Structure 1
Amino acid sequence: MSIAKRLASQTAIYGVSSIVGRVLNTLLVPLYTSRFVAAEYGIVTGLFAYVSFLNVLFTYGMETTYFRFANRPGTDRPELYNRVMTLLLLTSALFTAGLALLARPLMSLLALPPGHERYAVWIAFILGLDAVAAIPFARLRLENKARRFAVIRFANILMNVGLNLFFIVFCPDILSGKYLAGLRPLVEQLYDPSIGVGYVFLSNLAASAFTLVLLAPELLAVRFRLNLEPLRPLLRYAYPIMLMGLAGMVNETLDRILLPRWLPEGFYPGRSNLAAVGIYGACYKISILMNLVIQAFRYAAEPFFFAQSNEKNSPHTFALVLKWFTLCCAMLFVGVSINVELVARVFLQRPEYLEGLSVVPVLLLAQLFLGVYWNLSVWFKLTDKAYYGAYIGVAGAVLTIVLNFLLIPIIGYMGSALATLACYFMMAAICWWLGDRHFPVPYPVARLLIWLLVAVGVVAVSWWAPIGEGWGRYGFHALLTLGFVGLVAAVEGRRLKAL
């Protein structure tokens, strides 16, 4: 099988869990926006922003480290697996216990009233269970067991979605007498209305525990190996990855933590700051459609890049991969941004959430540059210079904090969206500039920038053209979308056939 076909087939299989599965998870947003007011959804948005930070600390770069050391010649892979898993099991237990004890301070950071501390305890266990599962999943990817990986991930998503539907829709509807009144006594035993949005976290916790059950063969294969000396090179490689991940989480999620604190009270008339977080978080979820594609690609591409690193023609392969990845994401950016009103009808079920739609194109473009950065970052991972990734991430984090501080009080959550875009663009630019000096790859930078400028221009025309409402507007948007896709196909079609 050719390199391109092999990467495409791996991406397709991982897509079963990461795209199809996460789409199902993303489709919970309409459920949340229909059942919870913006202030309640702000709790979910804020707490999961903290989860993103803490997840990096719980795994501290060991997933990428495991890939790197497992692909070194002469590595005893089973022994490496035992050492990494031993370390993660111990640290996960310690971190989970510590976080559970800090539940009250964590909730006060979100300015939530007392009584919600149990949410933080549940989150602590979610993080611990997910950290333990990270290396078994990495082992499946390393061994090219994409189908087993996809089935387990997909089962996790289905269980999470199913429990959300059960606790947030089914149980409240039965208690209110909408249907199946005969089940009311049973539901009263299983369901506590006072938990409210907490069932979002409980569902996630149950799904994480179920995942470990499905990973039992990989977990039972672990042999306890706690020897610090062999772990030293692993930790030296991992800590820049962890710093890079923390900086990445600053860039990705800090806006939802800073927004309720730096947004002037009453900035949005009739909305609390927590409600503004909920609106921004719901609109941010639409931009995650881009991230779904990036995530599916990443699952397949990370082991692929490491495996190709010793091939003579690898720089040309990396350039080809980035080009087609960027073009595909550009078409997605145009399609969603132009037709965001139609997409919002599915995702945002209450009118109050529609107030934040203007941030969606900005966030989609930001996610696109994040995907470009992830592709470009292959150079410092393959040359064992991961500390460059930490430097770039820290620079991005500083820019994110500064721009949020300056822009949130002036333009609200649009300031957070613009800060995210500026951050990811800068990170991609710096990564390309450094990579061109340390690990030259013939990326078609000028050509890709032209395509991205065309895409932004098409989206700008769709937003600002004086077209009325109704079918005429939708038809105009459809023509713009098809026109951009057709232009890409006409100009790049021959190269695609050659690939």
Structure 2
Amino acid sequence: MSAINRLFKHTFVYGLATVLPRLLTVLLTPLLTNYLPNPEDFGEVSIIFSWIIIFNVLLTYGTETAFFRYFTETDDKSKVLGTAIGTLLGTTLLFVIVSYLSLDHIASWTDKSANYWRWVIGVLAFDTLAVVPFAYMRAQGKAVKYAVIKMINVIISVGCSALFLIWLQDIPGLRDWLPSDKIELYFIAFFGASALTFLVICKPYFSKWKFDVLLWKRMLRYGFPILIAGLAFAINETFDKILLEWLLIDNATDQVGIYTACYRLAVGMTLFSTAFKLGVEPFFFSEAKNEKAPQLYAQITKMFVILGSIALLAYIVLVDLIKALLINEKYYDAMDIVPLVLIAYLFFGIYQSISVWYKVTDKTKYGAYISVLGAALTIGLNVLLIPQIGYIASAITTCAAYGLMMVTSYVLSRKHFAIPYDLKNILLYLIVSISFSVIFFYFFREELGIGSWSLYLVGILMTAVLAGLIWIREKTFIKNLIKK
């Protein structure tokens, strides 16, 4: 099986493992926007999930990527597995003890109920302990098993959430011992799903493994820049919700809820970029010693840009149909952020592909530098602009931060690991796709009327023009990929 073929297979399976669960998770958006009393409650949930994302990065501190790095090059696989498991087990237990002892202080500092945090801490602990077993599956090529378990996890999460929020409180016998707060019920559902998932995949913790102190130090050194990069990414990804709550004066949490609901409409590009990352990361390492690796990496990046450019425009054409399925109409006020967030995630996907150079050359410190640069821009622009223009500032900032990271990574790659990117065509497809998307959403959508047949006809024609342009210029390239 060719390298490109293997990449497509793994990306497809990991894509299913990501897309199907996320699609189920998307069902939580109409569930929450309809069954939580108001946007303020949805804002509360969104802010807590922002903290969950940040602490997920802190608690794993680059262990997953370090595991892949040393697992692929070391003959003694059990030593790498054991070292990764041992370090996460120790730090997670310490985190749980300290967090529960400090529960009241956490609640006071975040201005969120301790009843929420007691479940969130459990979710964080089980999710952290699951990182290495899931990475072990990916390293062994068990993509289908990985996908099935991930999907079961989300089915349980969504099912329990629906059960708790809609029906259980109305059953007389359960009403007395279930919490009345629907936000707490929501986090109980997630705790149950995380605990059950860990029980399913915890076998590596009970197998024979050995902890190697020297390897542990090497993994920490390798993983530390990944931690910094991951933390910076978490800030780029989610700190805007926290800053909105801190910096907006009127109805701050309510505004966070409206912003987050429309932000979730960008789920299509988010899923596309995430599935690509899951499939491509092990591939990058496995092909690093191949003499044709630079050419393969260049082909992969162009392939992503071609698919992403078409997906961006097509998604924006259909976004008004999608919004009716996903969010309550009282959240529509923030629709103007959607194209900006979609473009941001297209940039992010390209950045992940371009960033292969610092991962395969062990120069992960540059990943940290780039991500910190993006995080600094995220914090700076949000602090400067949120008081002036509200949540639209956060969408602009997200787009600017990922664009800056993409360009910076490309510039540095030319010096440290030359890859023959087809820059001329990549830029052409991006410019045409983004221009068409902006014109369609901010001009034709207003002029022709939201939901009108003439609007969709224009959108189909614009998408056809983009696809035709790509086909004319890339016919040979696409045919070769299909043959492979």
TM-score of the superposition, structure 2-length normalised? 0.95
Name the residue aligned to 2:66: 65
Q: Distance in 2 between matches of 1:474 and 1:101?
A: 56
Name the residue aligned to 1:260: 245
Q: Distance in 1 between matches of 2:280 and 2:301?
A: 11
Name the residue aligned to 1:338: 317
Name the residue aligned to 2:141: 144
Name the residue aligned to 1:179: none
Mean Cα deviation higher: 487-496 or 40-49: 487-496
**How much does 1:315 deviate?**
0.2
* Letter matched to residue 188 of structure 1: R
- Alpha carbons 2:133, 2:202 under 8 Å: kept: no
For residues 339-418 of structure 1, the aligned pairs below 5 Å read: 339-349=318-328, 351-418=329-396
- Aligned with residue 240 of structure 1, among 220, 225, 228: 225
Is residue 212 from structure 1 mapped to residue 198 from structure 2 by the alignment? Answer: yes
Q: Secondary structure at the residue paired with 1:381?
A: helix
For residues 150-161 of structure 1, the aligned pairs below 5 Å read: 150-161=147-158
Cα separation, partners in 2 of 1:494 and 1:169, compared to 1, 3 Å:
farther
Q: Distance in 2 between matches of 1:363 and 1:108?
A: 32
Name the residue aligned to 1:188: 175
Name the residue aligned to 1:290: 269
Q: Distance in 2 between matches of 1:38 and 1:490?
A: 47
Q: Secondary structure at the residue paired with 2:421?
A: coil
Q: Distance in 2 between matches of 1:278 and 1:119?
A: 17
Is residue 313 from structure 1 mapped to residue 292 from structure 2 by the alignment? Answer: yes
Q: Distance in 2 between matches of 1:11 and 1:87?
A: 29
Is residue 303 from structure 1 mapped to residue 290 from structure 2 by the alignment? Answer: no
Q: Secondary structure at the residue paired with 1:441?
A: coil
Name the residue aligned to 1:10: 10
**How much does 1:149 deviate?**
0.9
**How much does 1:399 deviate?**
0.8
- Alpha carbons 2:24, 2:158 under 8 Å: kept: yes
Name the residue aligned to 2:425: 447
Q: Distance in 2 between matches of 1:394 and 1:248?
A: 8
Q: Distance in 2 between matches of 1:413 and 1:123?
A: 26
**How much does 1:491 deviate?**
3.3
Name the residue aligned to 1:178: none
- Alpha carbons 1:103, 1:118 under 8 Å: kept: no
- Alpha carbons 2:78, 2:210 under 8 Å: kept: no
Cα separation, partners in 2 of 1:445 and 1:216, compared to 1, 3 Å:
same
Q: Distance in 1 between matches of 2:215 and 2:15?
A: 35
Q: CA RMSD in A?
A: 1.7
Cα separation, partners in 2 of 1:474 and 1:100, compared to 1, 3 Å:
farther
Structure 1 residues 198-227: Cα deviation after superposition (integer angstroms, max 9, x where no partner): 2221111111111111113333215363x5
Mean Cα deviation higher: 457-466 or 103-112: 103-112
Q: Secondary structure at the residue paired with 2:448?
A: coil
Q: Distance in 1 between matches of 2:429 and 2:480?
A: 20
Cα separation, partners in 2 of 1:164 and 1:485, compared to 1, 3 Å:
farther
Name the residue aligned to 1:487: 469
- Alpha carbons 1:167, 1:191 under 8 Å: kept: no
Q: Distance in 1 between matches of 2:107 and 2:312?
A: 36
* Letter matched to residue 188 of structure 2: L
**How much does 1:493 deviate?**
3.1
Q: Distance in 2 between matches of 1:381 and 1:15?
A: 22
Gaps of 5+ in 1: 176-183, 267-271
**How much does 1:260 deviate?**
1.3
Q: Distance in 2 between matches of 1:8 and 1:331?
A: 18
Q: Secondary structure at the residue paired with 2:449?
A: coil
Q: Distance in 2 between matches of 1:84 and 1:416?
A: 36
Is residue 46 from structure 1 mapped to residue 56 from structure 2 by the alignment? Answer: no
* Letter matched to residue 57 of structure 2: V
* Letter matched to residue 207 of structure 2: A
**How much does 1:109 deviate?**
4.2
Equivalent pairs, count: 476
Is residue 273 from structure 1 mapped to residue 252 from structure 2 by the alignment? Answer: yes
Is residue 471 from structure 1 mapped to residue 471 from structure 2 by the alignment? Answer: no
Structure 1 residues 309-360: Cα deviation after superposition (integer angstroms, max 9, x where no partner): 00000000000001111121122211222322211111111x2210001001
Name the residue aligned to 1:202: 188
Cα separation, partners in 2 of 1:105 and 1:453, compared to 1, 3 Å:
farther
Cα separation, partners in 2 of 1:198 and 1:480, compared to 1, 3 Å:
farther
* Letter matched to residue 43 of structure 1: E
- Alpha carbons 2:305, 2:429 under 8 Å: kept: no
Q: Distance in 2 between matches of 1:388 and 1:135?
A: 24
Gaps of 5+ in 2: none
Cα separation, partners in 2 of 1:109 and 1:334, compared to 1, 3 Å:
farther
Q: Distance in 2 between matches of 1:110 and 1:337?
A: 35
**How much does 1:187 deviate?**
3.9
Q: Distance in 2 between matches of 1:41 and 1:109?
A: 20
Q: Secondary structure at the residue paired with 2:75?
A: coil
**How much does 1:253 deviate?**
0.8
- Alpha carbons 2:258, 2:331 under 8 Å: kept: yes
TM-score of the superposition, structure 1-length normalised? 0.92
